[in-house]
Amino acid sequence: MHNMLPLKPLAKQLQQTGLIVLLLLLLSGCGASQYLSKGDKRFGEEEYERALEFYKQALGKAGNPGEVNYKIAEAYRLSNRLAEAEPYYKAALDANYRKEDAYFYYPLALKANGKYEEALRRMGEYVKVATSPQLRSMAVRELENLQQLDEIMGLGERYKVQNLEALNTEGSEFAPYVLNNELVFSSTRGPGKEYLGNGEGFLDLFSTTLTDSAAEMGGAVHKYESINNEELHEAFATFANDGATMVFARGNEGTKKGRRNVDLFVSQRRANGWTEPKLLSINDPEAWDSSPAFTPDGKTLYFSSSRRGGLGGTDIYKSTLDDNGRFTAPENLGPNINTPGNESFVSVGPDGTVYIASDGLPGLGNLDLFRIENGKPVNMGRPVNSPGDDFGMYFVNEQFGFFSSNREGGKGGDDLYRFVRSDRKLVKFFVDGTLYQLREGAKQRTPVPNNTVRLQDEAGKQVAMASTDAEGKFSFPLDSASTYSLVAEKPNFFTARQRITTVGKMPAQSELKDPINEVRLSSTLVLNEIVKEKAIVLENIFYDFDKANIRLDAAEELDKLVQILEDNPGISIELSSHTDARGSDIYNQDLSQRRAESAVEYIISKGIDRSRITAKGYGESRLVVRNAKTEEQHQRNRRTEFKVVRIQE
């Protein structure tokens, strides 16, 4: 054993090694602590980009990775980069970091990345355990919004969109406005001072010549030099009086102190340029006031504000010019439009239609675009909306315009997109149904109120749920060229199932009258009471003469029984086969038993547990028509039946 060290020197060596490891751990923790401290300081000053740098340096060294990941996620969220926060919220939760709002924002980050099913599941789980009344209220609203995604996804595509790649940069471009054949927009493109909130430049106003093609929108770009201030953001220009009056938003020098100094300014065009911008009287000094939009006649100004007395984070307000040219007191557009979330980025189309962006209304991403119809917001659908932020829609005319988005596949943070209205008329499919129940011995079926009905796709996956109203009625939106199943359950009743399809039901374009048309299908679901030992005939189960093997036409019918057993996992059945009276008793008994066993083996081959089904051949012992004379009467006797023999409580 010449290669072994003496015991005492070995112990001394281990002791020294342990001290070195401990020292290294202390030094490592010290470094992580310093990075965290610096990150927290920048975070508190809302310099999120700098905070991220320090937090990420601390991440590999810190003994509390859950907390550090959470702080990184929050820095991304608070700098309007919610999609990038997703993996960090997940890492925080996986590390058992139990900050409650992480459970709320993680599903929102999933949604921002288009992971709708996981977002719905996670938000549903959080609602059940939420302890914060405020977060729970917000989560319930978000859960309701997520549950409406199928309807929004089925709206149809009324527009074609195209990224203005030649114009966009690695920075952000958004808030388009067209004035005298010039596209005016807001951008963080450099060179210039860095905004520490998100690492991009400060916002300025720019313009370029409008062209007919999105691919050509990359010509000379001009900066509004007399308006722009290098130390502040300038964005969201809107114009009135044939372009002689401009209102825009200015403020936020990039510090926490300046966070609320975003206000609306007005400037007038003169022969030598724009006048020195002046504060509008409608600003609230304690609030964030931004995204102004004049109506085409220049008499009403819409804008968004975080002022007190609103319904959420930011609301849409409007103010009109009186006869003396002064703005009236701002008016909140009310709860039909504003929500507990954020409504902003308002614009007004040539026909006076108001467009807004909202993260509080049901949508595909964080911010979705909506048009106001009859005083209520209507989601613009895909492809205008996406899992990302979609906002700042501007209609040049009825056929085309521009909007902003930070969707996946873009060139920078926010990009400008061109949209063109599609001439194709759209069709929205719906199924309207009624759920009934039929008890044994009852002469009439009755509607079933307040009962869940599920909509499943062709693969059996649930895509939507609805609850029947007082008259048993329910409704679902459907996709075109798709097949579904409607499913309803109730204790002590067989599960009701009906197939519904929109395949082949799309009307020709020439038959459609309106830009958006509805095709409504009807459905009747009946829940039949389960009665033990009551025989139920399986129709159209035929066998070849003197044979027991399952024919293709019989297999199709037996598949329906397989579905019944899958839908009703608590029942066990006896499957019986019967013959007519022709032939000997012994022969008929043997043949019927073989046929029953063959049918049972087929059903078991489809995945049904053998313990739930028994084969029984009755031969000619239970004739339905005695003294049968016609082939039709003999066929009624040659039948296959099943009956429920056990019900698992």
% of the chain at pLDDT higher than 70: 91
Average pLDDT of 186-199?
74
Spell out the long-range contacts of 125-129 with Cβ–Cβ below 8 A and sequence spacing 24 or more: 129/103
Give the residues across from 433 on adjacent strands.
Answer: 474, 523
Examine residue 387 and say whether the peptide bond preceding it is cis (omega within 30 degrees of 0): no
pLDDT digits 0-9 by tens, 338-362 = 999 999 999 999 999 999 999 999 9
- Report residue 8's pLDDT band, with 50, 70 and 90 as the boundaries: very low
Please tell me the least confidently modeled range out of 71-75, 147-151, 485-489.
147-151
% of the chain at pLDDT higher than 90: 63
Give the residues across from 43 on adjacent strands.
Answer: none
- Report residue 259's pLDDT band, with 50, 70 and 90 as the boundaries: very low
pLDDT at 565 over 50: yes
pLDDT digits 0-9 by tens, 438-471 = 999 899 999 999 999 999 999 899 999 999 999 9
pLDDT digits 0-9 by tens, 94-130 = 999 989 999 999 999 999 999 999 999 999 999 999 9
3-state SS string for 338-362:
CCCCEEEEEEECCCCCEEEEECCCC
Q: Which two tokens stand for residue 275?
A: 């006048």
CA distances in angstroms from 252 to 124, 257, 381, 393, 638, listed in the order given: 37, 8, 33, 24, 85
Cα 597 to Cα 550: distance, rounded to the nearest angstrom = 10
pLDDT at 221 over 70: yes
Burial readout 192-214 (b: 16 or more C-beta within 10 A, e: otherwise)? beebbbbbbbbbbbbbbebeeeb
Cα 44 to Cα 37: distance, rounded to the nearest angstrom = 11
Which of 242, 289, 293 is CA-nearest to residue 269? 242
The burial of 101, by beta-carbon neighbours within 10 Å (0-12 exposed, 13-18 middle, 19 or more buried), is given as middle
Q: Which residue has the tokens 């049968």?
A: 628
Q: Is 599 helix (H, G, I), strand (E, B) or coil?
A: helix
Q: Across all residues in the chain, what is the average pLDDT? A: 87
- Report residue 493's pLDDT band, with 50, 70 and 90 as the boundaries: very high
Cβ contacts of 2 within 8 Å, gap of 6 or more: none
Q: Which residue has the tokens 């129709």?
A: 539
Q: Element (H or E) spanning 422, and its range?
A: none
Q: What is the pLDDT of residue 628?
A: 84
Strand 159-163, strand 516-528: pairing: unpaired
pLDDT at 76 over 70: yes
Cβ contacts of 580 within 8 Å, gap of 6 or more: 588, 620, 623, 628, 634, 635, 637, 638
Q: What is the pLDDT of residue 131?
A: 93
Q: What is the pLDDT of residue 27?
A: 43
Q: What is the pLDDT of residue 197?
A: 65
pLDDT at 213 over 80: no
Please tell me the least confidently modeled range out of 21-35, 378-392, 393-407, 430-444.
21-35
Please tell me the least confidently modeled range out of 483-487, 551-555, 604-608.
551-555
Please tell me the least confidently modeled range out of 355-359, 365-369, 372-376, 553-557.
553-557
CB atoms within 10 A of CB 418: 22
Q: What is the pLDDT of residue 75?
A: 94
CB atoms within 10 A of CB 258: 15
Spell out the long-range contacts of 453-461 with Cβ–Cβ below 8 A and sequence spacing 24 or more: 453/486, 453/487, 453/488, 453/525, 454/486, 454/487, 454/488, 455/484, 455/485, 455/486, 455/487, 456/484, 456/485, 456/486, 456/487, 457/482, 457/483, 457/484, 458/482, 458/483, 458/484, 458/485, 460/485
Q: What is the pLDDT of residue 217?
A: 73
Q: Which two tokens stand for residue 381?
A: 């659908």
- Report residue 192's pLDDT band, with 50, 70 and 90 as the boundaries: low
pLDDT at 260 over 80: no
Q: Which two tokens stand for residue 362?
A: 């049901």
Cα 184 to Cα 346: distance, rounded to the nearest angstrom = 16
Strand 221-223, strand 315-320: pairing: unpaired
Q: What is the pLDDT of residue 248?
A: 95
Looking at the chain, how many residues does it have?
Answer: 649
Cα 430 to Cα 435: distance, rounded to the nearest angstrom = 16
Ordered by where they begin, the domains of the chain are 22-153 (1.25.40.10), 159-421 (2.120.10.30), 426-528 (2.60.40.10), 536-647 (3.30.1330.60)
pLDDT at 599 over 80: yes
pLDDT at 1 over 70: no
3-state SS string for 97-120:
CCCHHHHHHHHHHHHHCCCHHHHH
CA distances in angstroms from 417 to 391, 413, 458, listed in the order given: 10, 13, 36
The burial of 298, by beta-carbon neighbours within 10 Å (0-12 exposed, 13-18 middle, 19 or more buried), is given as middle
Instruction: Give the dihedral sign, CA 631/632/633/634.
Output: positive
Strand 462-467, strand 473-478: pairing: unpaired
Helices (H), 549-606: 552-567, 585-605
Average pLDDT of 370-395?
94
pLDDT digits 0-9 by tens, 612-637 = 999 999 988 888 888 888 878 887 88
Q: What is the pLDDT of residue 541?
A: 81
pLDDT at 383 over 90: yes
Average pLDDT of 24-37?
64
Q: Determine phi and psi for 587, rounding to 5 degrees.
A: -60, -50
Q: Element (H or E) spanning 510, and its range?
A: none
Instruction: Give the dihedral sign, CA 539/543/548/551.
Output: negative
Cα 266 to Cα 541: distance, rounded to the nearest angstrom = 82
Average pLDDT of 284-313?
94
pLDDT at 494 over 80: yes
DSSP assignment of 176-196? EEEETTEEEEEE--SSSPBPT
Cα 637 to Cα 579: distance, rounded to the nearest angstrom = 6
